[in-house]
Structure 1
C-alpha cells in the first residue's frame, strides 16, 4: 500500500525529516515454522506488518496489514513485545527518514495466504535455523527469538 494520507500530510509539512511512526508486526507461526515475506522494494525477507492508522487499534492494524499484503486471515495469540531503536530506522529511496516502533503479535494463520505482488513478492515458511541464512531485516531476529520463548518466561532484560 502506498503512503497513507496521514503520513503524506505530515511529509508535506516536514519534508524528508525523521518521522517516528507506530507499527505492528505479525509473527505468524505454525509450530517451529514462521511465515516470512520477501519485500518488493528491498528484496529482503521479513515479517508482515505496517503502520497503525490514526484512531486504529494496533490489534486491528495487524489483522488489516496481513490481509492487505497476503489476503490471509489471522487469529492473534499474544503480544510478543515492542521494538524500536536503530535497527528499525530507515531511509527510503525518495529520502524520507523513518523510525518505527512496532508491537509484535504472535498469530496463527487461518486459511491461505498469497503475496499481493505489490509490496510482497513471495511468502515462505521457514524454521529459525533456515531464517538465519536468508537475506533479511536484522531486527526480525530479536522478535523471532522472543517469540520462541515461552510466553511465561521472563526476558533477560527484566532479570
Structure 2
C-alpha cells in the first residue's frame, strides 16, 4: 500500500516536518519454525514484515493486517518481543518520520506465502540458520522471537528524567 492515506493528509498541513508514528513489525514463524521474510521494493533488501498502524487500530491487528497485505499469509500474534523507538528517517522526497516499533512473534495459521502487494519484490520462508543478509533491526526481532525470554526494550535511565 505504500504511504497510508492518513499520512498523505497529514503532510498537506505538516509539510516535511518530523512525524512520530506507530510502527508494527511481525516475526512470523511456521510449524517448522521458519521465518517469513519479504524482499522490500523500496530497498531491495530482505526484512521481516511491518507497517504503520492506522488511526484507532490496535498494534496486534496492524501486525495481522500487514502480514496478510504483503504476503497473503494469515497469522496469529503470540506475544510482544520488542518495543523500540527508532532513529528518525528521511525519505528521498524529504519527508521525515520517527517510528515507535512494537514487534510481535506471530504463528502462521493459513495462506500461501506470495507477493501480495507492490511493497514486496519476493516473499519466502527461511530457516533461522539460513537467513539472507538482514539489517540489525530484523535480526534483533528474530532473535527475541526465537526464545521465550521477556520483551526487549531499551532500559530507562531514571536520572534522565528531570522535573
**TM norm structure 1:** 0.85
Report how far residue 126 of structure 1 moved.
2.0
Residue 127 of structure 1 is matched in structure 2 by 127
Instruction: After TM superposition, give the deviation of residue 121 of structure 1 in Å.
Output: 1.0
Find the aligned partners of 1:46 and 1:3 in 2 and give their Cα distance.
Answer: 18
Matches within 5 A, 1:40-119: 40-86=41-87, 89-111=88-110, 112-119=112-119
Between the aligned partners of 1:39 and 1:154, the Cα distance in structure 2 is 26
- The Cα shift of 1:138 comes to 2.6
The whole-number CA distance in structure 2 between the counterparts of 1:17 and 1:73 is 35
Q: Unaligned regions of 5+ residues in structure 1, if any? A: none
Q: After TM superposition, what 4+ stretches of structure 1 lie above 4 angstroms from structure 2?
A: 153-158
Deviation, 1:81, is 2.0
CA positional deviation for 1:83? 1.7
The match for 1:137 is 135
Q: 1:96 to 1:105 in 2, by over 3 A?
A: same
Q: For the Cα contact (< 8 Å) 2:36–2:123, is it kept in 1? A: yes
- Would you tell me which structure has more helix in proportion to its own residues? 1
Q: What is the CA-CA distance between 1:85 and the residue it aligns to?
A: 2.6
Distance 1:53 1:147, change over 3 A: same
Greater Rg over alpha carbons, structure: 2
Deviation string, structure 1 residues 100-138 (Cα, Å, up to 9, x no partner)? 11111111112212112510111122233433x51x333
Q: Distance in 2 between matches of 1:32 and 1:83?
A: 24
TM-score by structure 2 length?
A: 0.83
CA 1:18–1:32 in 2, change beyond 3 Å: closer, same or farther? same
Q: 1:54, CA displacement in angstroms? A: 0.7
